[in-house]
């Protein structure tokens, strides 16, 4: 019997990775569970059942992505898409403070933080912090680019100051993303910019 060779997407705690097949995914040590396109599959499921659920949910994701396109059309002018090492080098040369997100189209965690990344990018334009992203599964160049930055899960945010990496973090963590902008001299979300409701005195 031939072994299944399809790749399975695993998302856990805001970080997404790839398994070579359903068997590898089931054997992964993520509290006994994993999310494949947002669907939880446990160790009791067969390879066929797991892949069938993934395919079914993949179609739903495709329809949802189509509906979400309109809401994210303005992101292209705020978050620059980079396609190669040359693009990255040019972007870093042109800007002093930069944040680059390494993401993929299938990554649920990437989708969950996309709007907030755009929001922070917009609010920090005045602070001259420029945002970009690399779609790591687009082609060979972007895959090579991800490998050169040792990206093995998604999303990964890398901050640069004067062309040099200042820090990075893995996962769709809004708090860490805010902190990344702040370290580069920017601010947090809308609430923080307005003074921070949580600091309101009674």
Residues classed as catalytic = 107, 110
Alpha-carbon dihedral sign for residues 14, 15, 20, 23: negative
Per-residue burial over 154-181, b = 16 or more CB atoms within 10 Å of its CB, e = otherwise: bbbbbbbeeeeeeebebbbbbeebbebb
CA 155 to chain centre: 3
Tokens at 118, concatenated? 């755009």
Length of the chain: 202
Q: Distance (Å, rounded) from C-alpha 56 to C-alpha 35?
A: 13
Tokens at 109, concatenated? 């965690």
Q: How many Å from the N-terminal Cα to the C-terminal Cα in the chain?
A: 69
Q: Give the closest residue to 111 by CA, choosing from 172, 56, 178.
A: 172
């Amino acid at each position: 019997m031939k072994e299944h060779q399809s790749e399975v997407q695993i998302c856990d705690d805001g970080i997404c990775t790839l398994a070579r097949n359903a068997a590898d995914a089931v054997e992964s040590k993520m509290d006994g569970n994993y999310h494949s396109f947002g669907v939880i599959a446990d160790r009791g499921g067969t390879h066929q059942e797991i892949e069938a659920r993934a395919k079914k949910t993949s179609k739903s994701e495709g329809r949802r992505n189509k509906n979400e396109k309109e809401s994210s059309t303005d992101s292209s002018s705020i978050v620059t898409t980079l396609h190669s090492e040359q693009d990255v080098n040019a972007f870093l040369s042109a800007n002093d403070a930069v944040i680059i997100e390494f993401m993929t189209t299938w990554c649920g965690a990437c989708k969950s933080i996309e709007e907030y990344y755009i929001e922070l990018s917009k609010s920090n334009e005045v602070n001259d912090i420029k945002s970009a992203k690399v779609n790591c599964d687009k082609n060979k160049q972007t895959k090579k680019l991800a490998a050169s930055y040792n990206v093995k899960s998604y999303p990964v945010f890398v901050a640069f100051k004067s062309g040099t990496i200042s820090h990075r973090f893995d996962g769709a963590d809004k708090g860490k993303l805010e902190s990344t902008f702040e370290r580069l001299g920017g601010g947090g979300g809308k609430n923080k910019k307005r003074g921070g409701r949580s600091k309101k005195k009674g």
